[in-house]
Structure 1
């Protein structure tokens, strides 16, 4: 990766950090989301003057990306919590399963991330599942081997440090439940040395509103006026998503819901809101005493979701009569925010280009269920990444040879130059799930094709198998495809939008290889447009 961002920092995956730190005297403007591409379930903490953010990554490895910022609005990717083989395995896991809803915390010189590995309920994947904890002195890594919490139910674990005591909360869907989707939030004390659970679970919350489903994503924080505050998402991760809060004098409860719940939601705006599905908040206090919340949200196109998936947004938080006000004055997550305490946000680079001239892959590249190093080699041929083909088709669950990165914007032109060697087919994918994928490819016989959801929608013969440029030009919910010099037309990609065939994951894009042999890939470029 050779492109330079403004202020001289390298893109490192399309983001960079400004030198400007939060300042109570400044008022700056920033845009939401604060990270490009699919970054769901954001969790945030502060260590000194630096903020750290971690998000879900589901079936993709390396997993649980970590970002760093000194000002809350400009973020730099610095690594992943799950960054090496042997920490955990996701080979063969289907889309929208895997690594769910992490929480990051800092305490006494150590960073902690808790997370859950979730498998499909039909038993088709038999790998290790459940809650785990990983730790690091440096959030850029290395991170420890996972410490697994056996016998704890549900998803979305979150740590709370209370002096010398440590607590873990999470949620589970109640069985049978008081209404469909009713969930319980639990709390258990941990041994501060071994982090083994101590005693029984405390059942502390079942949701703010009767009939509202899926109280989840819990975080317990010390209330600035004393006692404790529980944040929880509610209403599911679609249009009824929300942020609800409850208060307690003792961490074990009883918790009383805020009479104004939900404290933040766009559920009343429906499909017409440019940012929808708002919820899953985490709170952080900056060094000046200002509070902020990270929340997830989805960018809509027309009356539906776009391809980018659930993303990380930032809102100011103020306290009024001991109650949190999210986005005070509007109660909305705005696409553009003017806020005190942050500088003007730096512009994102409009082009990401990888010439594969470095000895290691850029950290933004991911594999489906396996690490890119298992099938992608940057040393075999200078200026290329060599993808060892597999027999797994893009529409199958297995060991797909797909080198993907998050689609950064609704209008993005993705291009790559490829050489085929062997009985292979290669090109570019837009991938949201096995059931939601656009393929633009050429095979060893020079036949090009465009495939959407397993159905061939366009094709051509006589294409070159070496030096062939493949282009997918995304414009909202459609994409124009070119292979070599042949324009293969514009296709509808609305089936790739989050919330349809992929419940939780947005679209990734990049080169792939199917068959026996390999595909050499050069000059992958993602160019965004307003």
Structure 2
């Protein structure tokens, strides 16, 4: 038996949605306050995925100014019809602000994608599109029931026709279903598909935490009424306990292969060092069979496992990404992301060829702004990162490495000038309060920085000569980098940072390279 390893996309890539076009598969995930938005991947075997771009890669498409942490772009759905790709998603402005839904289109999934088509009168989050056999298109989302909620976070799934020529919702809005698990709450993430004469509606219930789940209903009519599957939830791990190696499974999307087999992508997390999910919610794959026109997910097992039998598709591996980015390309690799929409050219690969230059912006990573930060997602429980930096700070300016959960929970491992002394500082920010864990004098313009993560134990090193490391701090607690401590929906992002801490400055930090390595202890 040939197997594959879950997750299929590791690290902070949640809420996967998938579609097939002939013998290729395309997958998108949420991106929240990070820019570019909505990473998009391609695969030929559902197991090996290659990122081919971002759906929202222009400031004109995505205004994340002042967007709080863990808001922004929520669960997207990708679909294809008549030569055109569609991605529909929600922009969440703030904790209490408006949820605005829109869709974009592209002939090539690698881009460029269109400007947003904003949909007026589309409440709720996690929208989806369904293309029916008669050529009509339908939008599905969630909303508070018209007669009011019956319990906390009680919402329902609704549907309305979408006129693609007018780019607006038309006709009657229909209530479809308020879920299988009454009072479990948070009915969301609807996806529709048709099989063997039935219309299926699959949703997420129970919230995106430990009680997350996938449920399903069907009807011979798109508008219902919908028959609830008696096997619901068709997938969950909440009965397995919080110590199970895969938790908070949910938010599924179905896909049929060209050979007639069915699979589901879903989100889940891999906690470690206790119930801590530093990598956030990741994308997993699980098989599906059909019995009596109902799906059986992971038949004979009933759960998502780290190793499972692979799909009956010809394996297609992609070239692995290099561990070290030497910044020799004129284009920044699509692995890298920034926080919120960039409004100025705070980074450059051209000012000093072979280096990533970050300008010391006044904005800081402790604010809900666009700081001078370029980062990548954590994808392994244990890892080490290292970089070489050239930086000559003025008083209170800082540059270096940041391990970021959000603006109020992170570590900054930076070089700065403090009272006339050039120093290395390890700064722990917890609950919005900075604490200097360690300060060490250093008198060199070029320095090397390294962080080693042994699961939840982080150690920090500095060097003036390559690989001649000096320990700065050892076994620092990494649990503050988990959403279980910090709140929110994102995983840890790590990268390079430079700030002038509120004053105008011409100072820059040049990073010669950045290396990320998974580690097995």
TM over 0.5: yes
CA distance in 1, matches of 2:87, 2:435: 43
- Say whether residues 1:483 and 2:456 are aligned partners: no
Give the Å deviation of 1:345: 8.2
2:110 to 140, 148, 152: 140
Find the counterpart in structure 1 of residue 250 from structure 2: 279
Whether the 8 Å CA contact 2:120–2:168 is kept in 1: the answer is no
- Say whether residues 1:339 and 2:324 are aligned partners: no
Find the counterpart in structure 2 of residue 355 from structure 1: 326
Whether the 8 Å CA contact 1:406–1:509 is kept in 2: the answer is yes
1:429 to 373, 394, 402: 402
Whether the 8 Å CA contact 1:377–1:385 is kept in 2: the answer is yes
Whether the 8 Å CA contact 2:382–2:518 is kept in 1: the answer is yes
Once the two structures are superposed, the pairs formed by residues 26-175 of structure 1 within 5 Å of their partners are 27-122=1-96, 130-163=100-133, 164-174=135-145
CA distance in 1, matches of 2:443, 2:159: 60
Give the Å deviation of 1:437: 0.8
CA distance in 1, matches of 2:457, 2:321: 20
Find the counterpart in structure 2 of residue 21 from structure 1: none
User: The residue matched to 1:403 in structure 2 has which SS?
Assistant: strand
1:520 to 510, 516, 521: 510
Whether the 8 Å CA contact 1:28–1:342 is kept in 2: the answer is no
Give the Å deviation of 1:303: 3.3
User: The residue matched to 2:281 in structure 1 has which SS?
Assistant: strand
2:478 to 488, 493, 500: 493
Whether the 8 Å CA contact 1:284–1:291 is kept in 2: the answer is yes
TM-score between the two structures when normalised by the length of structure 2: 0.92
- Say whether residues 1:468 and 2:452 are aligned partners: no
CA distance in 2, matches of 1:329, 1:92: 48
2:356 to 377, 385, 392: 385
CA distance in 1, matches of 2:355, 2:254: 42
Give the Å deviation of 1:467: 1.4
Give the Å deviation of 1:370: 2.0
Q: Deviations over 1:64-90 (max 9, x none)?
A: 000000111000000000011211210
Computed over aligned residues only, the root mean square deviation of the Cα atoms, in angstroms, reads 1.9
User: The residue matched to 2:137 in structure 1 has which SS?
Assistant: strand
Give the Å deviation of 1:421: 4.0
User: The residue matched to 1:262 in structure 2 has which SS?
Assistant: coil
Structure 2 CA distance for partners of 1:465 and 1:375, relative to 1, 3 Å: farther
CA distance in 2, matches of 1:339, 1:523: 36
Find the counterpart in structure 1 of residue 437 from structure 2: 458
CA distance in 2, matches of 1:245, 1:403: 40
CA distance in 2, matches of 1:265, 1:446: 52
Structure 2 CA distance for partners of 1:348 and 1:137, relative to 1, 3 Å: closer
Give the Å deviation of 1:220: 0.8
Give the Å deviation of 1:173: 4.1
User: The residue matched to 1:58 in structure 2 has which SS?
Assistant: coil
User: The residue matched to 1:228 in structure 2 has which SS?
Assistant: strand
Give the Å deviation of 1:129: 5.3
- The answer to which of 420-429 and 152-161 deviates more is 420-429
- Say whether residues 1:448 and 2:424 are aligned partners: yes
CA distance in 2, matches of 1:46, 1:514: 44
Structure 2 CA distance for partners of 1:258 and 1:138, relative to 1, 3 Å: same
CA distance in 2, matches of 1:457, 1:478: 18
- Say whether residues 1:178 and 2:150 are aligned partners: yes
Once the two structures are superposed, the pairs formed by residues 9-20 of structure 1 within 5 Å of their partners are none
CA distance in 1, matches of 2:126, 2:485: 23
Task: Please identify runs of 4+ aligned residues in structure 1 that moved more than 6 A.
Answer: none
Show structure 1 runs of 5+ residues with no match: 1-26
Show structure 2 runs of 5+ residues with no match: 464-468
Give the Å deviation of 1:457: 4.3
Q: Deviations over 1:330-361 (max 9, x none)?
A: 01100111235146685995962111001010
Structure 2 CA distance for partners of 1:422 and 1:414, relative to 1, 3 Å: same
User: The residue matched to 2:258 in structure 1 has which SS?
Assistant: coil
Q: Deviations over 1:97-152 (max 9, x none)?
A: 000000000111100000010022355xxxx8500100000000000000000121
Which gives a bigger RCO, structure 1 or 2 (Cα 8 Å, sep 6+)?
1
2:279 to 305, 308, 311: 308
- Say whether residues 1:400 and 2:390 are aligned partners: no
Structure 2 CA distance for partners of 1:334 and 1:344, relative to 1, 3 Å: farther
2:184 to 212, 221, 226: 212
- Say whether residues 1:299 and 2:284 are aligned partners: no
Whether the 8 Å CA contact 2:273–2:456 is kept in 1: the answer is no
Structure 2 CA distance for partners of 1:310 and 1:469, relative to 1, 3 Å: same
Give the Å deviation of 1:256: 1.7
Give the Å deviation of 1:180: 0.6
Whether the 8 Å CA contact 1:38–1:309 is kept in 2: the answer is yes
CA distance in 2, matches of 1:171, 1:400: 34
